[in-house]
Structure 1
Amino acid sequence: MTTLTLSPVDLAATQDQPRRSLVRDIQIVMTRELKPVLRDPFSLLFGMIQPLVFLVLFGPLLSGSMRGAFGDGVWQWFVPSILVMTTLFGTSTTGANLLFEFQTGAHERMLVTPLSRSSLLIGRALKEMVPLFGQAVIVIAVMTPFAFDLHLGGAVVGMALLAVFGIGLGAFSYALAIAVRKQDWMFWVVQQTFLFPVMILSGMLLPLETGPGWMKVAAKFDPLSYVVDAERALFSGDVLTTAVLWGWVAAIVTAALGLTVGIRSMLRSAG
């Protein structure tokens, strides 16, 4: 019978191997995903086109036609909506990057690494939040001279809430990409089919108070509506309110469900 012995050098190398942790794995994945963004900073500016178009064209329409509907001013009501919209569009399309990795084989190479499956999802979703944070800073800086009051504490909490919500959306997006990886065109069909009803029912663009009763009922089942209400309260400086509490509940539940579905989908794809 043979016995395996480790030399002092091998034993030291084994002991020196870093212990895996979720935070470290997330950092590795996030750093990897951010490198293309850092090499192409113009993508951040390109991503500003859509929110700026809504601010320039849609905001004045709200201000002129529904002036009395906004207690703290139209921009205090609409700017948080634009930040939520930017997060919604950015994180819900992250699965498209995974579809590209399926084509190149990069996803399979990531699966054989010792990185935890949850870190692959969280790291990629947080990577999407980095340019979104940059875009949020630009939007706030642009709108501050136009009667938009910045409450820094509420804004910081609001961006943290969006990060949690974005993790859930990103995980759902990756799960969708895995499910339709053999018919990648289905990703955009499903994403667009769910995106716009969820966005409209959230009251993001127009207040729902004057809408039909069935729409108000449907909005209560839309988690995004609670996030939108929370962001408006936070950016108005109201941190300790019921709206903020329900916003955190919606964000945390979305993140928990998204990670559960996303991790299970990733494990099945690796099998």
Structure 2
Amino acid sequence: MTTWLIFRRSLRQSLRNPAWVLIGVFQPLVYLALFGPLLIPVVESTPGFPPGDAWQVFVPALVVQQVVFGTLFVGFGLIAELRAGVIDRMRVTPVSRTALLLGRALKDVVVLVLQSVLLVLIALPFGLRAPLGGVLLALALVAVAGLAMSCASYALALRLKSEEALGPVFNTFGLPLLLLSGVLLPLSVAPGWLFGLSRANPFAHIVEAERALFRGDLADPAVLLGAGATAVLLVLCVTWGIRTFHRESA
């Protein structure tokens, strides 16, 4: 119940300024419009690309990019609430520390899924064709990954308590996560050492799973591997987040 109350409060705050939902789609939309068409001849002429057309390769990767650069940065909002004394006022109430985390994180998941749906719909006129069942499963996978990253972002924000420290940390780790996930170009065309390095990045497996789902290839081993990587990420990040909220809010 307390998780639901925190979720509703956080969602109401987002609804007061829904422009942020559209702003979150703007950067992927720029990639979609300006970079996506460049991939069409590359896919047709470059060996080693994953199956599917350029949009089935690129759009699911952009959806994962929403996870990295969307939910990863939600911790800044928590720091603002810490500075305003909102978190301190909640600490003296009977509300569960776990609910303080999960209520906010679930709101971020709702925003993420909404942004992802908008991105997929916008991609349809560009030429994206994907089975509905595969897209729904892909969105579910993104939602779980988003929940994990949101919890991690809040945990780190609560530990650092400073935008000046949080920003460099996110930029330092966010860019390698993006580049080693194969968002812009599939890692199947990368040199062997770079492909091997990317295997340690859970988002590389999530991107490959998303591409398989957008093709409708549910039997692809990449789907199971991506789901496993997402599950491990969820357990680690949620556990870290809950422990941090209990320790810092004690």
Shorter-chain-normalised TM-score: which range?
over 0.9
The Cα shift of 1:90 comes to: 1.1
1:146 equivalent to 2:123? Answer: no
In structure 2, the residue matched to 1:188 is 167
Describe the SS at the equivalent of 1:99.
helix
State the distance in 1 between where 2:245 and 2:102 align: 13
Describe the SS at the equivalent of 1:205.
coil
1:64 equivalent to 2:41? Answer: yes
Between 1:83-92 and 1:24-33, the stretch displaced more is: 24-33
State the distance in 2 between where 1:231 and 1:71 align: 12
In structure 2, the residue matched to 1:167 is 147
State the distance in 2 between where 1:115 and 1:251 align: 29
State the distance in 1 between where 2:84 and 2:77 align: 11
The Cα shift of 1:117 comes to: 2.3
Describe the SS at the equivalent of 1:209.
helix
In structure 2, the residue matched to 1:270 is 249
Describe the SS at the equivalent of 2:35.
helix
- TM-score (normalised: structure 2): 0.93
Superposed CA offset, 1:64-90 (max 9, x none): 334333531100110001111112211
How many residues are treated as equivalent by the alignment? Answer: 247
* C-alpha RMSD of matched pairs (Å): 1.6
Describe the SS at the equivalent of 1:47.
helix
State the distance in 1 between where 2:193 and 2:89 align: 48
Superposed CA offset, 1:202-233 (max 9, x none): 11111222322221111111000111111111
Question: Percentage identity across aligned positions?
Answer: 40
Superposed CA offset, 1:71-111 (max 9, x none): 31100110001111112211100111111011001112223
1:238 equivalent to 2:217? Answer: yes
Gaps of 5+ in 1: 1-23
Q: Give the conservation status (yes or no) of the 8 Å contact 1:231–1:244.
A: yes
Q: Give the conservation status (yes or no) of the 8 Å contact 1:95–1:174.
A: yes
State the distance in 2 between where 1:113 and 1:242 align: 47
Between 1:98-107 and 1:130-139, the stretch displaced more is: 130-139
2:31 to 47, 54, 57: 54
1:107 equivalent to 2:84? Answer: no
In structure 2, the residue matched to 1:228 is 207
Letter aligned with residue 206 of structure 2: V
In structure 2, the residue matched to 1:35 is 12
Letter aligned with residue 101 of structure 2: L
State the distance in 2 between where 1:241 and 1:117 align: 39
In structure 1, the residue matched to 2:110 is 130
State the distance in 2 between where 1:119 and 1:231 align: 30
State the distance in 2 between where 1:163 and 1:115 align: 25
State the distance in 2 between where 1:29 and 1:155 align: 29
Q: Give the conservation status (yes or no) of the 8 Å contact 1:126–1:163.
A: no
Letter aligned with residue 146 of structure 1: F
The Cα shift of 1:171 comes to: 1.1
1:116 equivalent to 2:96? Answer: yes
Describe the SS at the equivalent of 2:184.
coil
The Cα shift of 1:263 comes to: 1.4
In structure 2, the residue matched to 1:14 is none
- TM-score (normalised: structure 1): 0.86
Q: Give the conservation status (yes or no) of the 8 Å contact 1:144–1:150.
A: no
Higher relative contact order (CA 8 A, sep 6+): 2
- Specify the structure having the higher radius of gyration (Cα): 1
